[in-house]
């Protein structure tokens, strides 16, 4: 029996009553029922992790490297050789954001239309080629134009990768994978400096060291993209590295996880005006995106400014850069622990708030203490929690958006959380060095507002679930069947949908 026939077949009254009893008490999700199924599920996840997640994670590392390499080459003869002005480097960062941030939703929707596999690889080829083109920079207009284009090339990669993963992993296996993916940003920060340091020493009569940096890092991105085109699957049912039994299981578990009974099968590339409007009318999810800006603010702030903050704690020069590494290691460990717990406990909002609370505590001590060692220690506490918010909010939004088309739209809009970088850039001005007390206090306040917002959204979803439960308590089998057939409500709009929070 195919999927469409199964969806259209009417259930028996017993099945309706069983569904009624289940839907009012729990979020629809896949969970293996037997030891044999658990073993099969682990095999599928392991193979997906080794192929799909690994390629996407490497791509995310390269995205971070290709975005930040201009800062490392600026310490070489790059500015002089390319006939640039010193202010061209900070100006290029603003121009990059001018295309990278606003184009996120559009790029994510294109990813849905052409297929996420094809789009993430296309984006990598595009920005990798643009990175290589930096070899020929010889003027300010050329350099700034390439940075604008780099923002276009990199925009949409992250939300499309999130959407892509949501097609393969059930919702309570997805948070951990999104956390591992997001954790690669801190890896990129550490690896970028080491890679650039080595490549800058490869001077030759043909290429300057800075040209070698752009050439190698851009070419590596293109290579990984081509590898992705060859090995990444388009759907769970077409994953070449799975056995027939594993492919059947991969498809079946996603059908059970979505639980969109009664709705027509979606066109895998179509996005309609209704899909977009459904997202734009959903004020709850849009508010979550707004609060997510405040959640990722400390991440964007400290990934850029932590070495300078650490420098104000009594460490100088290269030692300040070196001492900024341990907090990121702790941050990655904290991220993995929090997202793992979130999947196991099947909860998103409180785990996000817990991570933000660690960030809040860290900011309080760094802003108020005069003990530099204590301030440095609490920088670790801060970063131990703040990295978790980004992936947990993304999987929270994805889990509450069963329509794949609308899911791609909301994850694209969630890409606007990168506006946090603009806020951070305006807060952490050099005039506040070396203590950065004012920026830390403002960051602390904004984190607190975000925490309150997520707690409020949790309350809204709990209230909505209780309201729907009261409505369904008075229903009989005919009412459930009628709700299944209604076309003006779909996905999470249906009364039978239970929101995750």
pLDDT tens digits, residue range 364-391? 999 998 888 899 999 999 999 999 998 9
pLDDT score, position 8: 40
Among the residue ranges 2-6, 86-90, 346-350, the one predicted with the least confidence is 2-6
Give the whole-angstrom CA distance, residue 242 versus residue 48: 9
395-398 contacts at long range (C-beta below 8 A, 24 or more positions apart): 395/162, 395/166, 395/171, 395/174, 395/175, 395/178, 395/348, 396/288, 396/348, 396/349, 396/352, 396/500, 396/501, 397/285, 397/288, 397/289, 398/162, 398/163, 398/166, 398/171, 398/174
Q: Which residues contact 419 (CB under 8 A, 6 or more apart)?
A: 101, 293
* Mean pLDDT of all residues belonging to the chain: 85
For residue range 67-79, list pLDDT tens digits in order: 877 877 777 788 8
Residue ranges, comma separated, of all CATH 1.20.1250.20 domains in the chain are 35-258, 270-501
pLDDT tens per residue, range 453-480: 999 999 999 999 999 999 988 888 888 8
In the CATH scheme, what architecture does the domain 270-501 have?
Up-down Bundle (1.20)
pTM of the model: 0.82
DSSP string, 316-355: -HHHHHHHTHHHHHHHHHHHHHHHHHHHHHT--HHHHHHH
* pLDDT recorded at residue 478: 84
Phi, psi of 2 (to 5 degrees): -85, 175
Place of tokens 């990768």: 161
Phi, psi of 25 (to 5 degrees): -120, -15
pLDDT confidence of residue 22: 47
What pLDDT score was predicted for residue 392?
Answer: 93
- pLDDT of res. 361: 95
Handedness of CA 370, 372, 374, 378 (dihedral sign): positive
pLDDT attached to residue 266:
57
Closest alpha carbon to 415 in 195, 104, 82, 30: 104
Residue 99 has pLDDT above 50, yes or no: yes
Angle at alpha carbon of residue 141, lines to 135 and 144, rounded to 5°: 70
> C-alpha 423: how far from its chain's center?
19
CA distance 393 to 406: 16
52, pLDDT greater than 80: yes
Query: Is the pLDDT reported for residue 239 higher than 80?
Result: yes
CA pair distance 396, 399, nearest whole angstrom = 5
pLDDT digits (tens, 9 = 90+) for 20-48: 444 444 667 788 888 999 999 999 999 99
- Check: CB of residue 258 under 8 Å from CB of residue 236: no
CATH number of 35-258: 1.20.1250.20
Q: Do 89 and 70 contact (CB within 8 A), yes or no?
A: yes
Half-sphere exposure of 77 (CA within 13 A, CB side): 10
Report whether pLDDT(234) > 70.
Answer: yes
Contacts 24+ apart (CB under 8 A), 434-443: 434/308, 434/311, 434/312, 435/312, 436/305, 436/308, 436/309, 436/312, 436/366, 437/367, 439/301, 440/363, 440/366, 440/367, 441/363, 441/367, 443/297, 443/298, 443/301, 443/363
Give the model's pLDDT for residue 327: 86
pLDDT-derived band at 18 (thresholds 50, 70, 90) equals low
CB of 409 closer than 8 Å to CB of 397? no
| Euclidean distance between CA atoms 402 and 256, whole angstroms | 12
- Whether 3 shows a pLDDT value over 50: the answer reads no
pLDDT of residue 259: 62
Percent of the chain scoring above 70 in pLDDT = 89
- The torsion of the CA quartet 341, 346, 349, 354, rounded to 10 degrees, works out to -20
């Amino acid at each position: 029996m195919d999927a469409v026939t199964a969806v259209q077949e009417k259930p028996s009254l017993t099945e309706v009553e069983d569904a009624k009893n289940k839907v009012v008490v729990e979020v629809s999700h896949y969970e293996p029922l037997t030891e044999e199924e658990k073993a099969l599920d682990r095999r599928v996840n392991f193979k997906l992790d080794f192929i799909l997640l690994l390629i996407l994670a490497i791509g995310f590392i390269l995205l971070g490297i290709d975005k930040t390499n201009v800062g490392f080459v600026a310490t070489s003869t790059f500015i002089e050789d390319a006939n640039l002005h010193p202010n061209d480097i900070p100006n290029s960062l603003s121009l990059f954001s001018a295309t990278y941030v606003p184009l996120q939703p559009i790029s994510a929707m294109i990813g849905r239309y052409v297929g996420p596999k094809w789009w993430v690889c296309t984006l990598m080829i595009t920005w990798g080629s643009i990175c290589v083109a930096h070899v020929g920079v010889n003027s300010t207009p050329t350099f700034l134009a390439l940075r604008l284009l780099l923002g276009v090339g990199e925009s949409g990669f992250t939300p499309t990768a999130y959407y892509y993963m949501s097609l393969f992993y059930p919702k309570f296996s997805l948070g951990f994978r999104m956390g591992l993916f997001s954790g690669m940003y801190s890896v990129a920060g550490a690896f970028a400096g080491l890679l650039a340091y080595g490549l800058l020493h490869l001077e030759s009569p043909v290429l300057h060291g800075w040209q070698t940096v752009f050439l190698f890092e851009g070419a590596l991105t293109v290579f990984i993209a081509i590898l992705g085109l060859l090995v990444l699957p388009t759907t769970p049912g077409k994953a070449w590295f799975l056995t027939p039994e594993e492919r059947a299981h991969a498809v079946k578990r996603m059908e059970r996880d979505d639980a969109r009974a009664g709705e027509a099968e979606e066109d895998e590339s179509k996005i309609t005006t209704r899909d977009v409007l459904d997202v734009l009318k959903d004020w709850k999810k849009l508010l979550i995106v707004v609060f997510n800006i405040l959640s990722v603010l400390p991440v964007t702030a400290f990934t850029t400014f932590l070495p300078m903050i650490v420098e104000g704690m009594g460490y100088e020069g290269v030692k300040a850069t070196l001492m900024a590494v341990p907090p990121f290691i702790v941050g990655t460990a904290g991220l993995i622990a929090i997202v793992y717990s979130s999947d196991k406990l099947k909860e998103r909002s409180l785990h996000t708030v817990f991570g933000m609370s660690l960030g809040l505590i860290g900011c309080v001590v760094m802003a108020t203490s005069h003990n530099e060692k204590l301030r440095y220690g609490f920088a670790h506490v801060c970063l131990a929690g703040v990295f978790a918010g980004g992936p947990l909010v993304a999987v929270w939004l994805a889990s509450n958006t069963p329509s794949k088309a609308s899911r791609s739209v909301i994850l694209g809009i969630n890409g606007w959380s990168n506006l946090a970088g603009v806020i951070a850039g305006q807060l952490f001005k050099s005039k506040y060095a070396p203590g950065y007390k004012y920026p830390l206090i403002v960051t602390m306040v904004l984190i607190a507002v975000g925490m309150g917002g997520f707690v409020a959204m949790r309350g809204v979803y709990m209230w909505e679930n209780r309201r729907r439960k009261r409505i369904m308590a008075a229903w009989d089998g005919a009412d459930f069947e009628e709700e299944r057939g209604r076309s003006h409500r779909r996905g999470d709009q249906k009364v039978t949908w239970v929101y995750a929070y």
